């Protein structure tokens, strides 16, 4: 077998695609089916969309000999999760006009629309672009939406980090004109085109980048392929620690796949950030595994070649040695809810959006509330990496009107909820995700309610314990960093993981495999009872189960302590 034929089939699709064009135009125009041609189903991901079908009705339609209920998920590219009120209103209108009546905030600070049918894909994407929101590279084997700390306190550093987030996103963006040709009726310039950074086959697999601003690790920096940890001294951004090779995804029962925490490579100045990002990305482009897709992320390249090899390859591309990493200290990876005042004197309201789903349901009319706020808001909206929302940059005089609009629509910031509920995450899962093995988003409220009852019984109602649920081990809600995680195995069955910390610096460990809800709750009950009576002051549940030997100590990030911490 030649090397060429051993490549993963997706490599062939990319090679033949003429820089992501494929036969997408023909597929979109085909009225006979709601689906795309097979290769185009891969290519459309690079344009920010996935073909899906409604799994709730899949069997019924099969029995009726109908094709599956195909529709498309559209994901935006929204560096740092920031959008204007006008953009919000445009997306809100599209949710009704073309999608399933809801907006979804993702764990990478983007929007998703679900349920868009094929013939309405183009008007939907065009309408997004009309308000300057594009979808290119939101999915596919490219650099994805770049995340940035959503902490509204550190206004000056945050603004600078956001600037670098946008610059990195632009720098690592594919240059193909295919997107404009297909969705925006752009001029056809294929003959003269090049893809200077990626080349014609793009990356071996998806690639994810984020910027964190300590002490907040809301972006879960150690789960990213490429990370920049801002080093801020006396309010001035000095540069960033460069991290590489984090990732969450794995396959049940396949020990060659695993979640991994990123390594810290060194320190870069702000002026070196873009080149450093490019050097890491192109190293992965050239050395990532293009044969076995499930080994194609940067984390496996590093596991195979070693972190020292990666550092020297990155330094060779940069033409200089990286400076040593600086000490960093993270305190937590959650959001802070309610109103806070930033350095500039403006106010920011973080609201809890359960599982990121913005809909009008059960008297809690989030969509109407946020649309009404967008009509009067002069600041911006920021999606957090925990699927919540910051209504940012509000003048003191305008706070009361925002509170009143929330109240009028039956919602609030959530501050009165238990910390468990406030911090819990769940991936989308069923009915749209084709890879889901169990419920996640639709199960979050029910499960967290039951766990909360157990905690109340043990006097732990106000103790923050991080819970994350995913419908499969791909890890879209970064479950392997949580203190308690449920990872879907089969309908109604989950693997139970314990032992993450609240700073996103330690992986958890599987405690029980393939169990149902009653067994999950009975497994947790005695541990919570013990935790309630024997925990140290400020000891997290994840730290506790390790100290007590309930699980073996899992991998964690080697800490570079600050000078004050290392002093006796
Ligand atoms: Fe994810 C695939 C949803 C963040 C790891 N992810 C999927 C797909 C597209 C299923 C598919 O391939 O057909 C899911 C679409 C469900 C739907 O109906 O909407 C999906 N992922 C999501 C979102 C919407 C979860 C959410 O509830 O918010 C997040 C969208 C982020 C965004 O705006 O770009 C999302 N996915 C993540 C994260 C978290 C992160 O990036 O910080 C991870 C873990 C980090 C990582 O990549 O290791 C993640 N998603 C995966 C994987 C495993 C990748 C791997 O190499 O291990 C898959 C499966 C794959 O790529 O084959 C996947
Ligand atoms: Fe789908 Fe699995 Fe990701 Fe959940 S974790 S959205 S089930 S791929």
In sequence order, which residues have a C-beta less than 8 Å from that of residue 435 and are 6 or more positions away? Answer: 471, 472, 474
**CA of 367 relative to ligand 1 center, distance in Å:** 24
* Residue 557 pLDDT grade (very low, low, confident, very high; cuts 50, 70, 90): confident
- Which residue reads 């499930």 in tokens? 294
Residue 558 predicted with pLDDT over 80: no
Residue 191 predicted with pLDDT over 80: no
Q: Measured between alpha carbons, how far is 521 from 426 in angstroms, rounded to an integer?
A: 18
pLDDT tens digits, one per residue of 18-32? 999 999 999 999 999
As a whole-number percent, the residues of the chain with pLDDT over 70 amount to 96
Residue 41 predicted with pLDDT over 70: yes
Six-digit token string for 437: 């093995």
3-state SS of 344-395 is: CCCEEEEECCHHHEECEECCEEHHHHHHHHHHHCCCEEEECCCCCEEEEEEC
Ranking 149-163, 236-250, 401-415, 470-484 by mean pLDDT, the lowest is: 149-163
pLDDT tens digits, one per residue of 461-511? 999 999 999 999 999 999 999 999 999 999 999 999 999 999 999 999 999
pLDDT at 188: 82
Which of 476, 478, 486 for mutating ligand 1's site (highest number of atoms within 8 Å of CB)? 476
Tell me if residue 52 falls in helix, strand or coil. Answer: strand
Determine whether 139 is an active site residue.
Answer: no
**Higher pLDDT residue, 498 or 343?**
498
Work out the average pLDDT over 245-272: 97
Q: In this structure, are residues 248 and 479 in contact, taking their beta carbons and an 8 Å threshold?
A: yes
pLDDT at 340: 94
CB atoms within 10 A of CB 185: 10
The string over 119-135, giving b where at least 16 C-beta atoms fall within 10 Å of a residue's C-beta and e elsewhere, is: ebbbebbebbbebebbb
Work out the average pLDDT over 411-419: 97
CB atoms within 10 A of CB 97: 13
pLDDT at 72: 98
Residue nearest to atom 3 of ligand 2 (CA): 476
* Residue 13 pLDDT grade (very low, low, confident, very high; cuts 50, 70, 90): very high
pLDDT at 524: 98
Under DSSP, the state recorded for 7 is S
Q: In this structure, are residues 116 and 134 in contact, taking their beta carbons and an 8 Å threshold?
A: no
pLDDT at 567: 29
pLDDT at 343: 84
Long-range CB contacts (< 8 A, 24+ apart) of 517-522? 517/447, 517/450, 517/492, 520/486, 520/494, 520/496, 521/450, 521/451, 521/454
Residue nearest to atom 49 of ligand 1 (CA): 476
Indicate which atom in ligand 1 lies nearest the CA of residue 250: 57
For residue 138, the ligand closest to its alpha carbon is: 1
Residue 566 predicted with pLDDT over 60: no
* Residue 44 pLDDT grade (very low, low, confident, very high; cuts 50, 70, 90): very high
* Whether the model pTM is above 0.75: yes
Q: Measured between alpha carbons, how far is 559 from 245 in angstroms, rounded to an integer?
A: 17
Indicate which atom in ligand 2 lies nearest the CA of residue 477: 5
pLDDT tens digits, one per residue of 152-188? 666 688 889 999 999 999 999 999 999 999 999 988 8
What's the whole-number average pLDDT of the chain?
95
Q: In this structure, are residues 485 and 540 in contact, taking their beta carbons and an 8 Å threshold?
A: no
pLDDT at 186: 86
Work out the average pLDDT over 44-70: 95
pLDDT tens digits, one per residue of 349-366? 999 999 999 999 999 999
Work out the average pLDDT over 332-359: 95
As a whole-number percent, the residues of the chain with pLDDT over 90 amount to 92
Which of 444, 474, 479, 486 for mutating ligand 1's site (highest number of atoms within 8 Å of CB)? 474
Q: Where are the beta strands (DSSP E) in 443-516?
A: 467-470, 484-490, 493-498, 509-515
Tell me if residue 114 falls in helix, strand or coil. Answer: strand
pLDDT tens digits, one per residue of 88-105? 999 999 999 999 999 999
For residue 333, the ligand closest to its alpha carbon is: 1
For residue 471, the ligand closest to its alpha carbon is: 2
C-beta 48 within 6 A of ligand 1: no
Determine whether 206 is an active site residue.
Answer: yes
Work out the average pLDDT over 46-75: 96
């Amino acid at each position: 077998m030649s090397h060429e034929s051993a490549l993963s089939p997706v490599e062939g699709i990319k090679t033949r695609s003429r820089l992501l064009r494929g036969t997408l135009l023909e597929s979109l125009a085909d009225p006979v089916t709601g689906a795309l041609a097979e290769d185009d189903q891969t290519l459309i991901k690079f344009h920010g969309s996935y073909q899906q079908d409604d799994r709730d009705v899949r069997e019924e339609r099969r029995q009726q000999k109908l094709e599956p209920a195909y529709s498309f998920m559209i994901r935006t590219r929204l560096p740092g999760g920031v959008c204007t009120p006008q953009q919000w209103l445009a997306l809100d209108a599209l949710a009704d006009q073309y999608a399933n009546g809801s907006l979804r905030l993702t764990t990478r600070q983007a929007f998703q629309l679900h349920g868009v049918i094929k013939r309405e894909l183009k008007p939907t994407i065009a309408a997004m672009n009309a308000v300057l929101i594009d979808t290119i590279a939101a999915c596919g084997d490219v650099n994805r939406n770049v995340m940035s700390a959503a902490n509204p306190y550190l206004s000056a550093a945050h603004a600078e980090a956001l600037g670098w987030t946008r610059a990195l996103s632009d720098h690592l963006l594919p240059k193909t004109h295919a997107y404009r040709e297909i969705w925006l009726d752009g001029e056809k310039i294929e003959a003269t085109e090049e893809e200077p950074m990626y080349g014609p086959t793009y990356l071996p697999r998806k690639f994810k980048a984020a910027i964190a601003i300590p002490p907040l690790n809301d972006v879960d920096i150690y789960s990213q392929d490429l990370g920049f940890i801002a080093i801020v001294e006396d309010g001035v951004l000095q540069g960033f620690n460069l991290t590489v090779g984090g990732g969450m995804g794995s396959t049940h029962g396949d020990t060659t796949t695993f979640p991994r925490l990123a390594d810290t490579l060194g320190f870069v100045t702000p002026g070196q950030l873009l080149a450093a990002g490019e050097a890491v990305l192109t190293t992965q482009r050239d050395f990532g595994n293009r044969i076995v897709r499930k080994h194609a992320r940067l984390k496996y390249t590093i596991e195979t070649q070693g972190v020292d090899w990666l550092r020297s390859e990155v330094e060779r591309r940069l033409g200089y040695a990286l400076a040593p990493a600086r000490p960093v200290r993270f305190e937590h990876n959650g959001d802070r809810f309610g109103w806070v005042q930033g350095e500039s004197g403006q106010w920011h309201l973080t609201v809890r959006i359960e599982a990121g789903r913005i809909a009008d349901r059960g008297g809690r009319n989030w969509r109407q509330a946020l649309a009404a706020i967008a009509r009067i808001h002069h600041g911006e909206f920021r999606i957090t990496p925990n699927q919540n929302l910051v209504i940012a940059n509000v003048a003191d005089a305008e706070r009361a009107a925002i509170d009143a609009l929330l109240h009028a629509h039956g919602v609030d910031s959530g501050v009165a909820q238990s910390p468990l509920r406030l911090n819990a995450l769940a991936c989308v899962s069923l009915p749209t995700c084709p890879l889901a093995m169990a419920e996640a988003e639709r199960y979050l409220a029910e499960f967290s309610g039951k766990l909360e009852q157990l905690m109340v019984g043990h006097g732990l109602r106000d103790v923050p314990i991080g819970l994350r649920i995913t419908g499969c081990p791909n890890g879209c809600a970064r479950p392997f960093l949580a203190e308690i995680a449920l990872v879907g195995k089969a309908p109604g069955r989950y693997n139970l993981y314990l032992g993450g910390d609240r700073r996103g610096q330690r992986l958890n460990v599987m405690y029980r495999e393939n169990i149902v809800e009653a067994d999950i709750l009975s497994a947790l009950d005695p541990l919570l009872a013990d935790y309630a009576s024997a925990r140290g002051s400020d000891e997290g549940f994840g730290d506790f189960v390790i100290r007590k030997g309930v699980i073996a100590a899992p991998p964690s990030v080697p800490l570079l302590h600050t000078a004050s911490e290392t002093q006796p």
